[in-house]
Amino acid sequence: MKKQKPKTDYLSRLRDGAALSTPQQLSLIVRLSIPAILAQISGIVMQYIDASMIGRLSPGDGAAIGLVSSSTWLLGGLCMAAGTGFTVQIANRTGANEPEKARRLVKLGLRSVLLFSACLALAASLVSFRLPVWLGGDESIRTKSAQYFLVFALSLPFVQLNSAAAGMLQCSGDMRTPGLLEVLMCLLDVVFNALLIFPSATHTVFGLSVYVPGAGLGILGAALGTALSEVVTAGLMLWCLLRRSETLRLRKGEPFHFEKADLRRAVKIAVPVAVEQVITCSAYIAFTRIVSPLGNIAIAANSFSITAESLCYMPGYGIGAAATTIIGQAIGAKQFRLTKHFGRLTTLFGALVMAASGALMFVFAPQMIGVLSTDAQIRALGAQVLRIEAFAEPLYAASIVASGVFRGAGDTVVPSVLSLVSMWGVRIPLAAVLAPRFGLPGVWCAMCVELCVRGLLFTLLLETRFCRRMQRQADAA
């Protein structure tokens, strides 16, 4: 007798061609979003941990990390883009109930992204000690910035495997496992950083003297701690993917067939995403270059504020990841009308969630930045710019989630063009004009305006491109 699927297993029902009501669609979005949001937040908490621990040392140390943070985002974004070309196809094959083809994509994907990340790590390592100079960093922080960036660069293959394996699990419908492992990575980061950043010391806990060993490596310790947590988590993520996943785990005797069409489609999807990451992160680097002349206090406040703000927009990225899974599987199942409804609903849901998180950021801005730094000037400046940014969060969410929708549909070219227009046509010119007159608050006003423009553009694109395309495919089916 065939085992019946639970009535609440809406993703399986979607793959089987069943219709879902709006409440059921919303329930599926929430169920997939929650673990994805936890995974995203745990990654930001890792940055919080690094920034908070380093912020206890000196403003100069905080500025040293802040100087290269946009460059590390660029490398991480390129790794994410490389994996996207395969995860979207895995979602399509899973939605079409073709698990053997999905597993073939896992094997090809892991080989391809590992080779890509190894080349990226080599290139980044070679420029690590020139990068702080190119970014206009003060001579006093260049060596520490270079050391932090070098360790990150060398860890890129593990960052890549962690990201790709997590994305593959998510696109097969398993959001829970990557979420839990990302939380574990955050906990490991706390332990490794505590041991590597600070020197050995004796602390009093409940009246008892406790000796805590430490390497006293400062910024270098923060980089090593984060890298070690990535290494451990990448191993666990791969084990869950290749040995435990119900759909994607390796099967004995199942041969690997290389299909050029799979690789071509992966490149077709991934290249525009990579271009978008280059556009966005190069704009962040230019943004850092605009902030650098404002001094180490401004650099540190900018870096810490970006980390603090990340807690507010990570729910958007979690919902965007859920949207990619749902849209990819719905298209694989040829549920085009339902796909259109999911695109609209996930974007609206993301905007509402981030409107709430933006309101919380406005209220608790001093506390959020206070966790990261004890310096009074950094805390005052950071709270000021966070409150400026709070007004952009709902429309920023619309752009994040809509991008996830397009990614699930394999449509990555036009979103990349919109990012180019928004970042380089609005944010950078406006920041360059406002920075000399208004300092860091002027720079963040430029960011706020640009994010609102980007959100409006993506919302328009969702209606005029994605929804119309799904309607045409539904009518032709």
pLDDT at 40: 75
Give dist(CA 288, CA 219) in Å, integer.
19
pLDDT at 56: 64
Give dist(CA 363, CA 57) in Å, integer.
27
Q: Which residues contact 404 (CB under 8 A, 6 or more apart)?
A: 317, 319, 320, 321, 322, 323, 324, 327, 346
pLDDT at 7: 53
Helix/strand/coil for 89 = helix
Q: Which of 110, 81, 368, 86 is nearest to 238 (CA)?
A: 110
pLDDT at 210: 75
Q: How does pLDDT run along the chain (477 residues), one tens digit per residue?
A: 344 455 567 888 888 888 888 898 899 888 888 888 877 777 677 666 666 677 666 656 767 777 887 788 888 888 888 998 899 899 989 988 899 999 999 999 999 999 999 999 999 999 999 999 888 888 888 888 999 999 999 999 999 999 999 999 988 888 889 988 988 988 898 889 889 988 887 766 666 777 778 788 888 888 899 899 999 999 999 999 999 998 899 888 887 777 888 999 999 888 888 887 887 777 877 887 888 888 888 888 887 888 788 888 888 888 998 899 899 999 998 999 999 999 999 999 999 999 999 999 999 999 888 877 778 898 999 999 999 999 999 999 999 999 999 988 988 888 888 888 898 999 999 999 999 999 999 999 999 999 999 999 999 999 999 999 999 998 887
pLDDT at 58: 63
Q: Which long-range contacts (CB under 8 A, 24 or more apart) does 249-252 make?
A: 249/103, 250/103, 251/103
Give dist(CA 445, CA 451) in Å, integer.
10
Q: Which of 309, 344, 306 is nearest to 327 (CA)?
A: 344
Q: Which of 61, 38, 66 is nearest to 170 (CA)?
A: 38
pLDDT at 183: 85
Give dist(CA 372, CA 469) in Å, integer.
45
What's the whole-model pTM score?
A: 0.79
Torsion angles phi and psi, residue 358, rounded to 5: -65, -40
DSSP 8-state symbol, 245: -
pLDDT at 435: 92
Tally the residues of the chain: 477
Give dist(CA 315, CA 39) in Å, integer.
10
pLDDT at 6: 53
pLDDT at 235: 96
pLDDT at 1: 39
pLDDT at 374: 78
**Structure-token pair, residue 126:** 């070679």
Q: Which of 222, 219, 69 is nearest to 135 (CA)?
A: 69
